Amino acid sequence: MTAEFATLAATSLALAAYLLLVAIALRLSAQSHALLLLVGGAVLVCAASLTLVLVWTSWPVLLWHFLAFYCGGVAIVIFLYGAALKSLSLQMCALLGSHATRSVGELADAVIRTEFEKRIALLEGSGLVERQENLFAVTEKGSTAANRIVRTRNALRLESKGLYAM
């Protein structure tokens, strides 16, 4: 087996194991701590794969090529997770696909409100905002985080607010 083919085979097997691990972990955790699972799973599978290939096989794997292809595959998985599984637009399309018609209010309640409540709970749990009766206020920790985000966006000259911004 050539080194190039061994590297491609090892990378393909590692990425298949990563996809399986991520699919199971995200389902079992109900997508809680997704970033930790995606990144932690990538490191775990990479280390396990390299250990298996380098210690238990005689495959002549090219380490840097393996790492480059593997990290590229992981980046694609993380991007697809963010784009496909967390997209509000796709959630609305899926909801409309399962029910022929929905009113704007039904869509807003089923998708937007649900996601808003999850995100505000995350912000509260992280100590970035606090609830004051029916109002929310940014904490000192939240203000510091917001200022960092604004400085980073300005330093990188990121002016668009997202895919649908004009």
How much helix, strand and coil, in percent to the nearest 5, is found in the chain? Answer: 75, 5, 20
pLDDT tens per residue, range 20-53: 999 899 888 877 788 888 999 999 999 999 888 8
Q: What domains are there in the chain, each with its CATH number?
A: 3-85 (no CATH), 88-155 (1.10.10)
Give the pair of three-digit tokens for residue 5: 């083919």
DSSP annotation of 99 = S
pTM of model > 0.85:
no
pLDDT tens digits for range 9-22 = 999 999 999 999 99
Which pLDDT belongs to residue 128? 92
Q: Please list the residues that pair with 136 across neighbouring strands.
A: 131
- Secondary structure (DSSP) of 148-163: HHHHHHHHTT----ST
Kindly report the backbone phi and psi dihedral angles of residue 62, in degrees, each rounded to the nearest multiple of 5, phi listed first.
Answer: -85, 110
Among 61-65, 68-72, 118-122, 160-164, whose mean pLDDT is lowest?
Answer: 160-164
CB within 8 Å of 7: residues ≥ 6 apart: 61, 62, 65, 66, 69
